[in-house]
Amino acid sequence: MLLVLCLVFVRLLSLTQGDIIAYDCQDESVELTKLSLLRVKPCLDPRNATETTRRKIQLIQKRQYVGVQVYTCLVVVQQFIQYCGMHSHTSSVAGGLGKYVHYVSAETCLKAHQFRHLDLRGIGGGIISKISLNGTTEVSTTLQGHLDISGKCEGIKFTVGDILYENVVVSAAITIKMSDYFTTADVERNVVNLRSGTICPYNDGSCFDDFSGEAIWKAKIADQCTNSGVDVLYEGNATLLTLSKDPPTFYVIVDTEDTVFALKLIKSEDLCHQRAWQTEQNRLLVVLEDSLGFFYRKSLRLPQNTDMMMHVLSKLLYLEIAVKRQMADVVYDAIMKRIEGKWVELTPALRKADPAIELDANTEDEIVKLARISPITSDGIYTREDMEKFQRTLMFPNERKAVTNEVARRVTGRGTN
């Protein structure tokens, strides 16, 4: 039986009793649509358009931030110029009091941290020993001329700028501040952030800080063929999902006890003689295991490299794929009903079905397996431990400084709370 639908548009005018409305279905302007109500084609299995395989992968993250150990040296010289007169009588001279910061080279500063002595022979201060590390050292010395503890003096000529002093003695109070601390450098932007807030070029290896003096660090060139340039976020089994479209779309899905994420694979590339897949997140790469195994090894990760945006987006993509696959299962699984003691199903046509399985609590081998619900709210590409470290870094950025000071107090025999 065919139901013929004649779709016509009739403009209704004022109708009176006895009027006749006629439909001309043979006119050329009439559009006809034929629908068969005898049968309906079976639903296609949407899961036939997908393909899943299990592979062992590594999730690699390119490092944007690296840890840097910074050493600083600040030398402040307060200078006194006095005239040495007859019988060693001294007197002040005009412009004789001055204060300046003495520049210390990077090599000299590093030696001072290593051997705890500072070479100031360039300004006549000799070699200052027993310098306090991560502290302040103050010394008094004679830079020019001679002055002993009995008060006898011998003056010399001394020039400050355009002023020439004759028969004077130059003494000084020198303050030396030295410190070392751990900070981060942004290798992509080529900057290192000093503790004072000063930003310096990372590749230069040193710069002068107005607050802490000469700052030195060791600049490392990020190499993706070593662990210095990448972090291994995950290593283990994963599901590779292929959607048969034109062109096909590839996804990698991981669902373990402490890691849950999904990433879309864009294109493959060579990474240190391995085949890696670039993802939608530029800093994330997926490496598939081959016969040689994995090149990279897990190492200590810097909390500053934790990317919250990637963490959230990878979980949202996992949730999107999971919902799509569950909806496909709903369409595939036929809806069954029991009518007059018989089981029937809609596919969408009504047909006889096998009876549903009945559970029996009296049978020992009766096992019902329930799918595990992934803790997507807490897990992601980063573990809970990674997220806690990142949170502590944000909340307590000076935690390392406090611990260092506490250890120093214990070493020197001072009490700690």
Taking only the tens place, the pLDDT of each residue in 118-134 is 888 888 888 888 898 89
Task: Return the SS3 of 26.
Answer: coil
DSSP codes of every residue in 95-156 = EEEEEEEEP--HHHHHHHHHHSEEE-GGGT--EEESPPTTEEEEEEEEEESEE-TTS-EE-E
Query: Is residue 196 within 8 Å of residue 70, measured between CB atoms?
Result: no
Q: Best-predicted range by mean pLDDT among 138-152, 200-214, 221-235, 360-374?
A: 200-214
Query: Is residue 252 within 8 Å of residue 239, measured between CB atoms?
Result: yes
User: Which residue has better confidence, 215 or 383?
Assistant: 215
**Among the ranges given (168-172, 220-224, 274-278, 353-357), the one the predictor scored with the smallest mean pLDDT:** 220-224
pLDDT digits (tens, 9 = 90+) for 252-273: 988 888 888 899 999 888 887 7
| Stretch (H or E) spanning 75 | strand 65-84
Q: Smallest Cα–Cα separation from 331: which of 54, 53, 49, 52?
A: 49
DSSP codes of every residue in 368-387 = ---PPPP-TTT-BSS-HHHH
pLDDT value of residue 19: 64
Average pLDDT score over the chain = 79
pLDDT digits (tens, 9 = 90+) for 198-252: 999 999 999 998 889 999 999 877 666 777 778 888 999 999 988 877 788 889 9
| Dist CA 121 CA 245 (whole Å) | 76
- The whole-number average pLDDT for the span 152-170 is 86
Q: Best-predicted range by mean pLDDT among 22-31, 102-111, 392-401?
A: 102-111
DSSP codes of every residue in 301-324 = --GGG--HHHHHHHHHHHHHHHHH
pLDDT value of residue 312: 83
pLDDT above 60 (res 91): yes
φ/ψ bin of 195: left (φ > 0), alpha (ψ from -120 to 50), beta (otherwise): alpha
- C-alpha 276, offset from chain centre: 20
- The whole-number average pLDDT for the span 13-32 is 66
pLDDT value of residue 46: 59
Q: Indicate the residue type of 359.
A: L
| Dist CA 389 CA 383 (whole Å) | 10
User: Which residue has better confidence, 403 or 356?
Assistant: 356
- Whole-angstrom distance between the N-terminal and C-terminal Cα of the chain? 93
pLDDT above 50 (res 9): no
Cis peptide bond upstream of 303, omega within 30: no
pLDDT value of residue 301: 80
| Stretch (H or E) spanning 416 | none
pLDDT value of residue 10: 42
Q: Best-predicted range by mean pLDDT among 167-176, 217-226, 293-302, 321-330?
A: 167-176
pLDDT value of residue 5: 39
pLDDT digits (tens, 9 = 90+) for 36-86: 777 777 666 656 667 888 999 999 888 888 889 999 999 999 998 888 888
Percentage of the residues of the chain whose pLDDT score is greater than 90: 14
| Dist CA 372 CA 377 (whole Å) | 14
Backbone φ, ψ for residue 112 (5° rounding): -65, -40
User: Which residue has better confidence, 253 or 379?
Assistant: 253
pLDDT above 60 (res 401): no
Query: Is residue 106 within 8 Å of residue 97, measured between CB atoms?
Result: no
φ/ψ bin of 397: left (φ > 0), alpha (ψ from -120 to 50), beta (otherwise): alpha
Helix, strand, coil proportions of the chain in percent (round to 5)? Answer: 20, 45, 40
| Dist CA 138 CA 135 (whole Å) | 10
Percentage of the residues of the chain whose pLDDT score is greater than 70: 79
Task: Return the SS3 of 186.
Answer: strand
Q: Identify the band that residue 330 occupies on the pLDDT scale cut at 50, 70 and 90.
A: low
List the structure tokens of 325: 């696959």
Q: Indicate the residue type of 139.
A: V
User: Which residue has better confidence, 32 or 400?
Assistant: 32
- The whole-number average pLDDT for the span 168-175 is 89
DSSP 356: P
